[in-house]
Chains A and B, each alone.
Chain A
């Protein structure tokens, strides 16, 4: 195998379930939030993997589970040949040097009382890399330069920077440890449009210079398409489609991906006027009580009687590495199944977390 094809990290059937506790004295577990429910994927060295999905689909939980910032319930996470889940204490801590994270909101992920220097040195110290003062100093300056900040930034505090610059500090903090894998959870969604491009370009430059591997988690399909080589689409805790970025955007095969793609507004009136929208009915079902069979069948305009509701589709290779979790992917692509109207099912934010009082009536129904 060449270096290009070796997976740096591989997830096998990873599950993250959060228990829902109830009761005053004894915490009874009354149910689970199935945040991530059986995801398998692999990311090659030097590749950018984009994970997209709407809020509540489990994409962030998967990113955190991968670094064991939340403990996965089940499954295997193999990073460069070692099973991360089997690592304990000190070994895990050391493994983290090679897997770093960039968070969405730089203001809340940077300690307001720490100067930039102290923010960056903290990680180095934790990994015993801050021994030589001159060497540390050189490393800090180099990292700041790489993310496009002046060396004078070292003595400043996070609040003295603009949003884009703060995100650069967040990137510098991840970068200073010289990691192999960076998990970026919504790295640009808190930034203004004109600043987003700066940060995206920076991430690309850093990858080219240092051969980094990225897992980019985002809800913005256009951003993910731009930066990722491979894209995985998540819906309600599971991957529904995975393909190379070009394939996925040229021909989305899962009904959910199609709907998602058709919903993204394009800043071009000519395109906007003639494109067809696939409008999904209703909201995302609650992950505490996911639908049976295919998770998407309750909102799917192509859903077919009984099989979609009974049998959970596997993520299978449909054409040349294009993996889709849909029983009827080929039929839909060939146009043999036509979309139909979907009855809206009401989704409650409280679904499954306890008894919901039946609502009373304000006007008596005739």
Chain B
């Protein structure tokens, strides 16, 4: 049994007087224990909404979540709020993009780490603080004893993100969801945080779902990568397979459009034409069709199915990029 098995997860936002908007459209993927899975896509592809839906963090009103999120066989979407709260932070936890807005500004960092331990492990304050100090030390915060009584504004962005990771890992969860954990940080700090995450995941055996727009981050970290476009998974592959032979024209285009540090200079970038605003609804065909160079008639006759490929992945495309065409 997979650790996390997301089946046909859909999130539809519905505001009064407006047309319903499907942010996540029947997304399915699995996470095995200890595995690192990437969800990649550009803004508006539904990657963050997917993670919020898994965690049950979407607002109660204005949206409809359907499908199943099986965590060790239990459907998190059907769990009573109290039971969900018992698991959240203990078995599954999450790191967000902006550490300043996800930490409480008026509570010392030590207390914020300690309260997780108090809530889930039944520690008393003193014991919890002692463990918090060790946690802060483990995530590489210098002089952790003194940091305990400091407030988030007193430490730098990179240290805040470390504190957030300490909170997330306090109860040794089996699954950690990281939503763009390094987007707000500078590259050298990003490298520190990614190295730390990799190391912690290796040491504790925690499975990691990494949500990001940065293909570079995925390349160094994830075992399996899911590429999302317009709320659907369009391609899924083991990372080596994906980066060597991207089959979906969107993935292929994305890899070709980013300037790389190690590519020869002076080459023109192959931009994907148009923007997300050109998408067509999946019901009418492939959402990417208006921007796609490989478009065929079948693309406008209904959504293409997600089918397994020879390379061990899945692909949703009528006319994929041939396997011989290497990226760049």
Interface on A for B, CB 8 Å cutoff? Answer: 54-55, 162-165, 192-198, 200-201, 204, 219, 221-223, 225-227, 245-246, 249, 259-273, 277, 279-280, 282-284, 344-350, 356, 359-363, 365
**How distant is the Cα of A195 from the Cα of B190 in the complex, in angstroms?**
23
CB contacts (< 8 Å) of A262 on chain B: these are 191
Q: Determine if B275 and A360 form an interchain contact, defined as CB atoms under 8 angstroms apart.
A: no
Q: Determine if A363 and B155 form an interchain contact, defined as CB atoms under 8 angstroms apart.
A: no
**Contacts A349-B154, A359-B150, A362-B129; A194 near B253 (Cβ below 8 A):** yes
CB contacts (< 8 Å) of A280 on chain B: these are 188, 191-192
Q: Determine if A266 and B260 form an interchain contact, defined as CB atoms under 8 angstroms apart.
A: yes
Closest to B255 in A: A267
Q: Does B156 touch A at the CB level, under 8 Å?
A: yes
CB contacts (< 8 Å) of A263 on chain B: these are 187-188, 190-191
Interface size on B, residues (CB 8 A): 65
B298 shortest CB reach to chain A, Å: 23
CB contacts (< 8 Å) of B265 on chain A: these are 225-226, 245-246
**How distant is the Cα of A54 from the Cα of B108 in the complex, in angstroms?**
28
Q: Determine if A360 and B188 form an interchain contact, defined as CB atoms under 8 angstroms apart.
A: no
**How distant is the Cα of A267 from the Cα of B219 in the complex, in angstroms?**
5
Q: Determine if B143 and A362 form an interchain contact, defined as CB atoms under 8 angstroms apart.
A: no
CB contacts (< 8 Å) of A193 on chain B: these are 42, 213, 215, 254, 257-258
Q: Does B272 touch A at the CB level, under 8 Å?
A: yes
A–B pairs, 17, beta carbons within 8 Å:
A192-B275, A192-B276, A197-B257, A197-B259, A200-B259, A226-B259, A263-B187, A264-B187, A264-B216, A265-B191, A265-B219, A266-B220, A266-B260, A267-B243, A280-B188, A346-B142, A362-B110
**How distant is the Cα of A264 from the Cα of B133 in the complex, in angstroms?**
31
Residues in B221-268 with C-beta less than 8 Å from chain A: 239-240, 243-244, 253-255, 257-262, 265, 268
Closest to A265 in B: B216
CB contacts (< 8 Å) of A347 on chain B: these are 156
B318 shortest CB reach to chain A, Å: 20
Q: Determine if B272 and A197 form an interchain contact, defined as CB atoms under 8 angstroms apart.
A: yes
Pick from B188, B189, B216, B269: contact of A226, CB under 8 Å? B269
CB contacts (< 8 Å) of B108 on chain A: these are 362
CB contacts (< 8 Å) of B186 on chain A: these are 54-55, 219, 284
Pick from A201, A273, A346: contact of B143, CB under 8 Å? A346
Pick from B156, B255, B257: contact of A283, CB under 8 Å? B156
Closest to B212 in A: A265
Q: Determine if B271 and A198 form an interchain contact, defined as CB atoms under 8 angstroms apart.
A: yes
Closest to B257 in A: A197
Q: Determine if B129 and A194 form an interchain contact, defined as CB atoms under 8 angstroms apart.
A: no
How does the 8 Å CB contact mask read for B151-188 relative to A, with 1 for contact and 0 for none? 00111111100000000000000000000000000111
**Contacts A346-B143, A363-B129; A267 near B215 (Cβ below 8 A):** yes
B79 shortest CB reach to chain A, Å: 34
Interface on B for A, CB 8 Å cutoff? Answer: 42-43, 108, 110-111, 126, 129-130, 133, 140, 142-143, 145-150, 153-159, 186-192, 194-195, 213-220, 239-240, 243-244, 253-255, 257-262, 265, 268-273, 275-277
**How distant is the Cα of A55 from the Cα of B184 in the complex, in angstroms?**
10
**Contacts A194-B271, A265-B220, A272-B219; A223 near B277 (Cβ below 8 A):** no
**How distant is the Cα of A360 from the Cα of B110 in the complex, in angstroms?**
12
Q: Determine if B187 and A197 form an interchain contact, defined as CB atoms under 8 angstroms apart.
A: no
Q: Determine if A361 and B145 form an interchain contact, defined as CB atoms under 8 angstroms apart.
A: yes
B98 shortest CB reach to chain A, Å: 14
CB contacts (< 8 Å) of A345 on chain B: these are 142
**How distant is the Cα of A361 from the Cα of B239 in the complex, in angstroms?**
46
CB contacts (< 8 Å) of A350 on chain B: these are 153-154
Pick from A195, A200, A348: contact of B275, CB under 8 Å? A195
**How distant is the Cα of A53 from the Cα of B190 in the complex, in angstroms?**
14
CB contacts (< 8 Å) of B194 on chain A: these are 265
Q: Determine if B269 and A197 form an interchain contact, defined as CB atoms under 8 angstroms apart.
A: yes
Q: Determine if A223 and B191 form an interchain contact, defined as CB atoms under 8 angstroms apart.
A: no
4 additional contacts, CB 8 Å, given A260-B188, A344-B142? A55-B186, A269-B243, A350-B154, A361-B149
Q: Determine if B149 and A268 form an interchain contact, defined as CB atoms under 8 angstroms apart.
A: no
Q: Determine if B191 and A279 form an interchain contact, defined as CB atoms under 8 angstroms apart.
A: yes
B229 shortest CB reach to chain A, Å: 10
**How distant is the Cα of A195 from the Cα of B269 in the complex, in angstroms?**
11
B248 shortest CB reach to chain A, Å: 13
Pick from A266, A349, A361, A365: contact of B219, CB under 8 Å? A266
CB contacts (< 8 Å) of B145 on chain A: these are 361, 363, 365
Pick from A223, A261, A348, A362: contact of B148, CB under 8 Å? A362
**Contacts A194-B272, A249-B261; A54 near B187 (Cβ below 8 A):** yes
**Contacts A249-B261, A283-B156; A359 near B149 (Cβ below 8 A):** yes
